[in-house]
Amino acid sequence: MYESLFNNLMTHSTAITVILLKSINQIFTKMKKYKFRISFLIASISIMSVFSNYVTANNNDLSENLSVGEITGKIIESETSEGISDALVIIQANGYYQDVETDANGLYSLKAVPVGTYLLSVYKTGYQTKQITNVLLKARDTKILDVEIQKFSFDIPEVIVIEYTIPLFDPATPHHGGLTGAEMKKIPLRKPQDMAVLSAPGLFQNQQGDIQIRGGRVGSTAYYVDGMRVRNLHGIPAQSIDQMSVITSGIEAKYGDLTGGVIIITTKSFRSF
């Protein structure tokens, strides 16, 4: 009778425990020896305690196993169909996050993943990022999910080289004139003031070599050489000039109170010679 009780006890749950208690109680009423009854009672309680802990632990493990699954697969290069190693595979949803790297053959495995719907992302340097949405994982499910990714295609755009041409008339600065060092080399003159007269309309040079702009007096024209204001352009060699700019109207306040115009000269650096 005891053997059948223990066999049933190992295969059934809490309901068997109740039946066992009733059987033990009937045995107690038939037993005549009091000491044996107490010893058997203690032994029975110990056996039921151990069995109850065993059943509870198995039930907990079973409930945990029923609420998780596994996602596994291979990350493949789309062109060669070969596995990609060291690719990062990430699943995430509702605050849950798990990642793993692929092995040398491109295989990955995400274990003990709670059931749910996930976003699976694959990252690899030099490859396009791949994302798969609504990946449904059921309880105790092993989902095989192979993912193909492509290499980045670095298309080198055509490079078009256009040589800049100085316009004859610049609408952005209609009242500005000037000459470059290359243009000054082509002019058969030696003095900068002579060249300035040719750079823009409205300039006049008197007998003393001073320049008058738009009929203004001699003192109404300002001269700047490398940012420093000078009295005139006498003594400046033409071959040392990199650029010459002439402003005939619309003069900015930084040049002072002028009624004529401004002539600005920038000399060459040592790299220009």
CATH number for the domain that contains residue 230: 2.170.130.10
Mean pLDDT of the residues in the chain: 76
Does any domain span residue 156?
A: no
- Reported as a pLDDT band with limits 50, 70 and 90, residue 177 is confident
pLDDT of 6 reads 45
User: Residue 111's CB: how many other CB atoms inside 10 A?
Assistant: 12
Check pLDDT > 70 for residue 124: yes
Based on the fold, state whether residues 18 and 7 are members of the same structural domain. Answer: yes
pLDDT of 156 reads 52
* Pairing assessment for the beta strands 130-137 and 96-101 based on DSSP bridges: unpaired
**Mean pLDDT, residues 147-174 taken together:** 63
pLDDT of 58 reads 52
Q: How far apart are CA 176 and CA 255, in angstroms?
A: 14
pLDDT of 62 reads 42
Q: Give phi and psi for 188, each to the nearest 5.
A: -80, 50
Overall number of domains in the chain: 3
Based on the fold, state whether residues 245 and 197 are members of the same structural domain. Answer: yes
Based on the fold, state whether residues 202 and 261 are members of the same structural domain. Answer: yes
Does any domain span residue 168?
A: no
**Mean pLDDT, residues 246-253 taken together:** 83
Strand partners, 72: 109, 144
pTM: 0.41
| Of residues 226, 228, 214, the one with CA closest to residue 258 | 214
DSSP character at residue 50:
H
pLDDT of 77 reads 92
Check pLDDT > 70 for residue 37: no
Taking only the tens place, the pLDDT of each residue in 195-237 is 888 888 888 888 887 888 888 888 888 888 888 888 888 888 8
| Of residues 130, 136, 145, the one with CA closest to residue 113 | 136
Higher-pLDDT residue of 117 and 55 is: 117
Does any domain span residue 98?
A: yes
> Which of 46, 66, 86 is a domain's end point?
66
Taking only the tens place, the pLDDT of each residue in 64-98 is 454 677 899 999 998 899 999 999 999 998 888 99
Based on the fold, state whether residues 180 and 248 are members of the same structural domain. Answer: yes
Based on the fold, state whether residues 246 and 229 are members of the same structural domain. Answer: yes
Domain that holds residue 24: 2-66
